[in-house]
């Protein structure tokens, strides 16, 4: 008991430590008493109840602070062996919004509703109870005594409330880990995973027990009904009182509980330094560091002619931001669960790539630091080749650069740039590249396109279309056909359909014809940045000489390159994918569907238009305009769509693994029962043309693949391919 203004009020104990952080802060309460009475009595709290001078709190706290400074300092020295990260001082306001929205508010986790609720419970409990404990420390250590009056009641209530919320989150986590058939959390399970969740639960539970003992011991005070505001602890106190312990016994047990709780709480906090629990701090920071440009843009190698190492072959070749990401990873497996290569049983797990790099950094990082400080050759330190031994070649080549891993990662790791950087080392430094990819690059260099062996020319698609206008600078748009649109036989009808629709809409446009050459996208995705830069600069010069300002593309890969990557080389153009332009023409009445499309179709989102550039609506809006067409979605669609298998240069690579990815995606399309699968990308169409027969060997009743433009051409002009 303690006296305040000559009125005896119950003393209050801290459920956790009463001075710093605690997910189960002691918030014993006051009962249903008027604000006037509380102000008159000066009802308040005594932080440590019957503990006396809490010297242990400050000893533990000092040790914890020292441990964190050492641990995070050690992390920092390892990150700094990486190269500088440019652009982090730009768009600070946008980065701060990312830190709040993606880091603190955990927006990405909400894509998994169960996990979103679970993490909200745990995180909100930690945040609120940290705030509660901070108030206790300020009130006690600074002798401000603001925990008085009506606020005391509210303080008691929300402290217990969020302690209970935290326990709900812990229970959900335990259920998913031990009782739910949720396989991905067991892909890289470690002892620390169990310690973190059981430890947090123990902190919260012992905190409630500690406060319940305090309430039970105070039951003889003048205001026992005030404790009801700490409603969880109040209920536990009544259970404890069933044992009819004396006040002395309760105080003795309270002391033991206090010490137990102190040790458990600080032990759990110490896990932050040694386990994935550090993501509490790293996730918001990584959200702040997140790139502010398009996820479809790869980094430019500056001054490439002067570089000695072109890609990333050793751990110190990464930027420090990429090394920081390694420590942010929580091994949740979300990236691997959505990785198309992994789904098809191919040798790539984005999570494992990050974890292997993290382990490699821990192994060789200190030696690199010592060698650098001594002026020795840091490239001779590691006994293992990072690219080849630590990260296998086949894992790097299996990546489709589709961005699914980055989209799902709750701590905002950017896996694709890291993988492509290592590919660049394979190709430009080691000359290790699959033969089929090498043939495509050789064709790019000698013929200006990757389709080795094609008998078609850049103008073959023009046959039978009459007068095709050549772009001379006077037209509003350049219609960019692209290599696949002009040199792959299956894609010629798509190119012709887009041309007819542009002409029907009265569009002012022209084409380059024989002057077209590859924009370099396959070279960049395959890792030959040097060749990409040559092709890009050549084409930008052509565009500028012809005064190109606005471009309509067939291919999402060309769309992404022109829109997001050419600005790196001063190529600033307004770029539209043909589905965006055609959807707008339909809305404005420039195109009017007159012919029925009596077919059931399912729509496949191409990665480079959808996930990497956020355009999901325009193709679907076109399908809504088609008379008689019924659209059904695949289970994986929209932002969760599955790659067709061609991305990341895999159109020119032989697949290694259990299944071909286009067969997996074709199986999903066929499973909808639709008659046709529709997309917006020539690569996707080619992959479905190959994959569907593998799923439906019988030609009769077989699903057919179409570009959106082909169906619209049929609906508007009656001249496209018929479903």
Over 70: is that where the pLDDT of 397 sits?
Answer: yes
Residue 13 has pLDDT above 90, yes or no: no
Q: Are residues 607 and 694 both part of a single domain? A: yes
Residue 202: domain span? 2-286
For residues 266 and 324, state if they share a domain: no
Q: Where are the alpha helices (DSSP H) in 636-707?
A: 661-671, 682-695
In a domain, 435, yes or no: no
Confidence at residue 47, expressed as pLDDT on a 0 to 100 scale:
52
Tokens representing 701? 């009743």
- CA distances from residue 630 to 33, 491, 593, 713 in whole angstroms, order as listed: 65, 24, 15, 17
- Give the mean pLDDT of 352-363: 96
Shared domain for 421 and 462, answered yes or no, is no
In a domain? residue 441: no
Residues in the chain: 723
181 and 214 belong to one structural domain: yes
Q: Are residues 225 and 318 in the same domain?
A: no
Identify the pLDDT of residue 691.
96
- Look at residue 292 and tell me if it is in a domain: no
619 near 570, Cβ under 8 Å? Answer: no
439 belongs to a structural domain: no
Task: Answer with the one of 429, 459, 490 that is the final residue of a domain.
Answer: 429
Residues 456 and 380 reside in one and the same domain = no
Residue 225 — very low, low, confident or very high, per pLDDT cuts 50/70/90? low
For residue 567, the model assigns a pLDDT of 96
Q: What percent of the chain has pLDDT over 90?
A: 69
pLDDT digits (tens, 9 = 90+) for 631-676: 999 999 999 999 999 999 999 999 999 999 999 999 999 999 999 9
Residue 550, strand partner residues? 574
Answer for the pair 602, 632: CB distance below 8 angstroms, yes or no. Answer: yes
Which DSSP letter does residue 426 get? Answer: I
Which whole number is the average pLDDT over 386-415?
95
12 pLDDT exceeds 80?
no
- Which of 286, 316, 350 marks a domain boundary? 286
Same domain flag for 203 and 347: no
Percent of the chain residues topping a pLDDT of 70: 90
**In whole numbers, what is the pLDDT of the chain averaged over residues?**
88
The answer to the question of residue 294 being in a domain is no
User: What are the tens digits of pLDDT across the range 91-109?
Assistant: 999 999 999 999 888 888 8
pLDDT of residue 517: 95
pLDDT(405) > 50 = yes
Shared domain check, 610 and 527: yes
Residues 271 and 319 in one domain: no
Read off the pLDDT band of 228 (50, 70, 90): confident
**516-566: per-residue pLDDT in tens?**
999 999 999 999 999 999 999 999 999 999 999 999 999 999 999 999 999
326-356 CB burial, b ≥16 within 10 A, e <16: bbbbbbbbbbbbbbbbbbbebbbbbbbbbbb
Whole-model pTM? 0.89
Helix/strand/coil (H/E/C) assignment for every residue in 233-250: HHHHHHHHHCCCCCHHHH
Residue 50's pLDDT is what?
A: 66
111 pLDDT tier (thresholds 50, 70, 90): confident
Task: Say if residue 424 is in the same domain as residue 454.
Answer: no
Of 396, 429, 462, the domain-final residue: 429
- 525 and 588 within one domain: yes
Rounded Cα distance, 586 and 708, in Å: 13
Answer whether 669's CB lies under 8 Å from 641's CB: no
Give the relative orientation of helices 231-241 and 191-217 as an angle to the nearest 10 degrees: 70
What is the DSSP secondary-structure string of 170-229? HHHHHHHHHTS--GGGGTT--HHHHHHHHHHHHHHHHHHHHHHHHHHHTTTSS-GGGGGG
669 closest CA partner among 645, 636, 623, 718: 636
pLDDT of residue 335: 95
Please, what's the b/e burial string for 60-91 (b: 16 or more CB within 10 A of its CB; e: otherwise)? bbeebeebbeeebeebeebbebbeeeeebeee
Dihedral angle over CA of 411, 412, 413, 417, nearest 10: 180
Tell me the per-residue pLDDT of 553-577, one tens digit each, with 9 for 90 and over: 999 999 999 999 999 999 999 999 9
Give 430: exposed, middle or buried? Use CB within 10 Å, 0-12, 13-18, 19+: middle
Residue 295 domain-assigned (yes or no): no
Whether 148 maps to a domain, the answer reads: yes
Buried b (16+ CB within 10 A) or exposed e, 662-674: bbbbbebbbebeb
**Domain identity same for 379 and 480:** no
> What is the predicted pLDDT for the residue at 703?
96
pLDDT digits (tens, 9 = 90+) for 470-506: 999 999 999 999 999 999 999 999 999 999 999 999 9
DSSP β-bridge partners for residue 603: 633, 678
In eight-state DSSP terms, residue 653 is S
pLDDT digits (tens, 9 = 90+) for 24-80: 333 333 333 444 444 444 334 445 566 665 677 778 888 999 999 999 999 999 999
* Alpha-carbon distance values, 442 to 160, 397, 630 (Å): 68, 18, 44
CA dihedral of residues 459, 464, 466, 470 (deg, nearest 10): -10
- Alpha-carbon distance of 666 to 236, in angstroms, equals 57
Whether residue 250 has pLDDT greater than 90: no
DSSP state of 19: S
CATH number at residue 403: 1.10.1060
User: Tokens for 562?
Assistant: 């022109």
Number of domains the chain contains: 3
Looking at the predicted structure, is the pLDDT value of residue 87 above 90?
no
Residue 299, in any domain of the structure: no
């Amino acid at each position: 008991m303690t006296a305040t203004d000559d009125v005896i009020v119950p003393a209050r104990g801290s459920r956790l430590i009463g001075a710093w952080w605690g997910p189960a802060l002691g918030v014993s309460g006051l009962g249903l008493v008027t604000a006037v009475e509380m102000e008159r009595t000066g009802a308040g709290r005594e932080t440590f109840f019957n503990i006396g001078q809490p010297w242990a709190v400050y000893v533990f706290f000092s040790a914890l602070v020292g441990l964190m400074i050492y641990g995070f300092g050690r992390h920092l020295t390892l990150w700094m062996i990486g190269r500088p990260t440019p652009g982090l001082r730009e768009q600070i306001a946008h980065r701060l919004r990312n830190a709040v929205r993606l880091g603190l508010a955990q927006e990405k986790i909400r894509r998994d509703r169960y996990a979103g609720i679970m993490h909200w419970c745990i995180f909100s409990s930690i945040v609120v109870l940290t705030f509660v404990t901070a108030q206790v420390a300020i009130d006690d250590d600074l002798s401000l005594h603001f925990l008085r009056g009506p606020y005391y009641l509210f303080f008691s209530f929300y402290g217990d409330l969020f302690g209970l919320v935290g326990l709900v989150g812990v229970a959900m986590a335990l259920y998913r880990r031990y009782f739910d058939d949720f396989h991905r959390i067991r892909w890289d399970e470690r002892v620390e995973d169990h310690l973190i969740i059981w430890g947090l639960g123990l902190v919260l539970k012992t905190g409630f027990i500690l406060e319940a003992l305090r309430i039970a011991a105070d039951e003889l005070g003048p205001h026992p009904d005030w404790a009801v505001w700490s409603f969880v602890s109040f209920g536990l106190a009544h259970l404890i009182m069933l044992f009819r312990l004396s006040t002395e016994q309760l105080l003795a047990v309270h002391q033991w509980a206090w010490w137990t709780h102190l040790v458990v709480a600080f032990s759990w906090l110490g896990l932050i330094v040694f386990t994935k629990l550090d993501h509490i701090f790293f996730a918001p920071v990584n959200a702040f560091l997140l790139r502010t440009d398009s996820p479809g843009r790869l980094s430019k190698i500056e001054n490439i002619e002067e570089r000695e190492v072109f890609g990333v072959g050793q751990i110190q070749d990464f930027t420090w931001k990429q090394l920081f990401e390694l420590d942010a990873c929580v091994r949740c497996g979300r990236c691997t669960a959505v990785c198309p290569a992994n789904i098809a049983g191919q040798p790539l797990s984005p999570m494992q790539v990050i974890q292997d790099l993290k382990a490699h950094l821990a192994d060789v990082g200190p030696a690199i630091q010592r060698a650098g400080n001594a002026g020795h050759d840091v490239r001779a330190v590691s006994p293992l080749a990072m690219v080849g031994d630590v990260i296998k070649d086949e894992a790097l080549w299996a990546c489709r650069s589709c961005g699914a891993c980055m989209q799902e990662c709750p701590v905002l790791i950017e896996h694709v740039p890291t993988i492509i950087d290592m590919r660049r080392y394979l190709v430009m430094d080691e000359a290790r590249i699959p033969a089929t990819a090498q043939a495509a690059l050789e064709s790019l260099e000698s013929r200006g396109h990757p389709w080795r062996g094609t008998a078609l020319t850049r103008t073959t698609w023009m046959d039978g279309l009459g007068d095709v206008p050549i772009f001379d600078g006077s037209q509003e748009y350049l219609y960019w056909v692209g290599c696949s649109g002009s040199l792959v036989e299956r894609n010629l009808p798509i190119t012709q359909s887009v041309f007819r629709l542009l002409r029907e809409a009265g569009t002012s446009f022209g084409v380059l014809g024989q002057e077209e050459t590859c924009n370099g996208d396959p070279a960049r995705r395959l890792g030959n940045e040097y060749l990409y830069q040559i092709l890009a600069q050549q084409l930008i010069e052509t565009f500028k000489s012809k005064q190109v300002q606005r471009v309509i593309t067939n291919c999402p890969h060309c769309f992404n390159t022109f829109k997001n990557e050419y600005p790196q080389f001063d190529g600033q153009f307004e770029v539209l994918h043909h589905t965006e332009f055609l959807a707008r023409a339909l809305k404005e009445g420039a195109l009017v569907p007159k012919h029925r499309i009596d077919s059931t179709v399912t729509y496949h989102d191409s990665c480079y238009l959808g996930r990497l550039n956020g355009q999901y609506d325009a193709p679907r809006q076109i399908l809504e305009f088609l008379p008689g067409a019924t659209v059904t979605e695949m289970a994986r669609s929209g932002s969760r769509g599955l790659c067709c298998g061609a991305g990341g240069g895999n159109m020119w690579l032989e697949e290694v693994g259990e299944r071909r990815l286009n067969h997996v995606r074709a199986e999903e399309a066929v499973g909808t029962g639709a008659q046709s699968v529709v997309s917006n990308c020539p690569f996707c169409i080619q992959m479905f043309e190959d994959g569907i027969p593998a799923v439906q060997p019988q030609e009769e009743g077989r699903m057919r693949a179409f570009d959106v433009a082909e169906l619209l051409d049929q609906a508007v002009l009656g001249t496209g391919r018929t479903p």
